Structure 1
Amino acid sequence: MTEGHVLILGGTTEARSLAELLCGQSALRVTTSLAGRTAAPRGGTPGAIRSGGFGGADGLAAWLREHRVAAVVDATHPFAAAISAHAADAAARRGVPLLALRRPGWTAAPGDRWHRTDSLAEAADLLPRLGARAFLSTGRQDLAAFAAVDLFCLIRCVEPPAAPLPARRHVLLARGPFTLDAERALLREHRIDVLVTKDSGGEATAAKLTAARERSLPVVVVRRPPPPPGVPLATTVAQAASWLAPLTRPANA
C-alpha cells in the first residue's frame, strides 16, 4: 500500500478536527462521509467529502472494498446508533479496523436537578410531572416522541422540523455554539421550567445546562447508546490519531 485510506463517518466537531489532523500527514488519504441530513453543514472539512447514506451495511461494505479503505473511524453523533451498527457490521465483513470516536458525556454538577432516562419516550412521559413549559433541545429528528405532550414546547433546531410535533410549540431555528448569556435570556424569555436534552457532551451546547442550574430547573437527560459490542472507543482526537498510526503507515515507511 502506497498510502493509507481512512474513512471518517462524520458530522461532528471531532470528525472535522480528526480530518484536519490526518490531512496534515502526506501519507494519508482521508474521506469524510456526511449523512446529508443538514442542507448546509459546516464547511471547512479537509480531504475528500461524500454526502448521503451508503445503503446500509451492505452498501458500506461494498464501498470499503471498492475504495480500499485501511481503517474506519466512526465519529458520528453519539446518538447515531443506526450508522454505528452498520459500520460495525460492514467493517467486520471486510476485516477493516474500526474505531468509535465519542466525546465524553456531560457530568452533573452540584445544584443540578437531572432526571436521566433511557429513551426519548421515557423523557416525554416524565415531562408533565416536571413542568408546564419545556425547552426541547433534542434535535429535529426526534420530536415525534413529544407530539402528544400537552404542554408548551420550545423547539430549537438547525432546520425546520417535520411533523408530527407538539401542538403548543414555538420553533426556533439556530445553530450552536450558544453562549451562557444567550441561554439565560432564552429560558427567561420563554418562561421555561424544564429542559430536555440528549447526553451529547461537548462544549457547543453545554451552556444551557449551566443556565438551567442557575434557575434550579429540572433537566431530563437522555442517556446515549453504547458503541456496538467489540468496537474500541476513543474519547479524544489525539487518541484516535494514535490508534490510526500503525494501521495507515505506508509499507515503505
Structure 2
Amino acid sequence: MKAVVFSGTTEGRQFSKILANLGVEVLVSVATEIGAEEQDENENITIHVGRCTAAEMTKLLHGASICVDATHPYATEATRTICEACETTGVEYHRLLRTESELPKNSIVFGTAAEAAEYLESTAGNVLLTTGAKELSAFKNLDIKRIFPRVLPTLDGIRACEALDIPHRNIIAMQGPFSLDLNRVILEQFNIQWLVTKDGGAVGGFMEKAKACEYCGARLLVLRRPRENGETVESILERCRELL
C-alpha cells in the first residue's frame, strides 16, 4: 500500500512515521528544506521537497491508495490544490486537523492579516509579526522601524523582509516553536507592544506566545483560523489499517 502525506506540520511528521512503521510505503511531500530536515528517516519514507502545482501533485499521487492532507491550518490554497489533485486521480482524500486553541479573552481577533495591519496603523509601539513571511506584505504601510518579523531562517524568509526594506537588525530569523521564556525575552529585548500571530495550536506554541504577552503587557492580535472539516489522527489511521 502506498500513502501520500502532504506535510509541513508536527502532526504530519508523526503520522508519516506511524504509517511507515506499519509497513506502508509513504511519500511525504514538504514545501521546504526545513520540512525535510524535520522528517524522521525511515526506510519506508520517501521525501519530496518543493511546492507543487496541481499537475505535480497528481503525479505524486500516482499509484497511491490514500492521501492525507497534513498541511498547516492556514495553508488553504495548498489544501484546495490537494483536493483537486485527488479528484483528478480518484485517490481517497483525508484532512488531518489540528486542534484549535482557546483564545485569551483580551486577544483581538481579525479575519485577515490586512485587517490586523489596518488596525495597527492607528496605534503606536513595536510589532512582533509571527504570521510567516508570506503575510509580511500586508503590513507594508506600517512604519518599518516598528516591525519585527520572526521568520524561518531561510533565504526566502530574509528576502521577504528585505522586500519591505525592514532593517536587518529588526529581523528575527529562527525556527520555532518557541518556549514561554524565549518569547518573553524577545518581547522584552525589542520592546514589543503588539504581537500578531496565527492560531498554530499547542504544537505551534500558541499558548507560549499568549502567556508571554500577558507577562510582558503586550497585546495579542490573532488571525482567525479558516473553518474546515477534517479528522483526527486516530480516525485516519483506522481507515489506513482497513486498506492494508
Is the shorter-chain TM-score for this pair beyond 0.5, marking a shared fold? yes
Paired positions, count: 234
* 1:117-147 Cα distance to aligned partner (Å, 9 max, x none): 1111111111133442111011122211112
Matched, 1:9 2:9: no
Identity, % of aligned positions: 27
Which of 114, 135, 142 is 2:107 aligned to?
A: 114
For 2:31, the equivalent position in structure 1 comes to: 35
Task: Indicate if the aligned counterparts of 1:113 and 1:217 stay in contact, CA closer than 8 A.
Answer: no
Which of 87, 93, 101 is 1:98 aligned to?
A: 93
The whole-number CA distance in structure 2 between the counterparts of 1:240 and 1:166 is 45
Q: 1:94 deviation in Å?
A: 1.9
**Aligned amino acid, residue 82 of structure 2:** A
For 1:144, the equivalent position in structure 2 comes to: 137
**Aligned amino acid, residue 80 of structure 1:** A
TM-score (norm 2): 0.87
TM-score (norm 1): 0.84
Rate the CA distance shift 1:215–1:53 in 2: closer, same or farther, 3 A: closer
Task: Indicate if the aligned counterparts of 1:135 and 1:153 stay in contact, CA closer than 8 A.
Answer: yes
Which of 151, 155, 177 is 1:157 aligned to?
A: 151
The whole-number CA distance in structure 2 between the counterparts of 1:240 and 1:40 is 23
Secondary structure of residue in 2 paired with 1:233? coil
**Aligned amino acid, residue 220 of structure 1:** L
The whole-number CA distance in structure 2 between the counterparts of 1:191 and 1:33 is 39
Q: 1:190 deviation in Å?
A: 1.1
- Give unpaired runs (5+ residues) of structure 2: none
- Give unpaired runs (5+ residues) of structure 1: none
Q: 1:176 deviation in Å?
A: 1.5
After the TM superposition, which parts of structure 1 deviate over 4 Å for at least 4 consecutive aligned residues? 37-40, 166-169
Give the CA RMSD over aligned residues.
2.1
Aligned ranges for residues 129-140 of structure 1 at < 5 Å? 129-140=122-133
Q: 1:100 deviation in Å?
A: 0.9
Rate the CA distance shift 1:166–1:78 in 2: closer, same or farther, 3 A: farther
Q: 1:95 deviation in Å?
A: 1.8
For 1:245, the equivalent position in structure 2 comes to: 241
Higher RCO structure (Cα 8 Å, ≥6 apart): 1
Q: 1:82 deviation in Å?
A: 1.5
In terms of fraction of residues, the more helix-rich structure is: 2
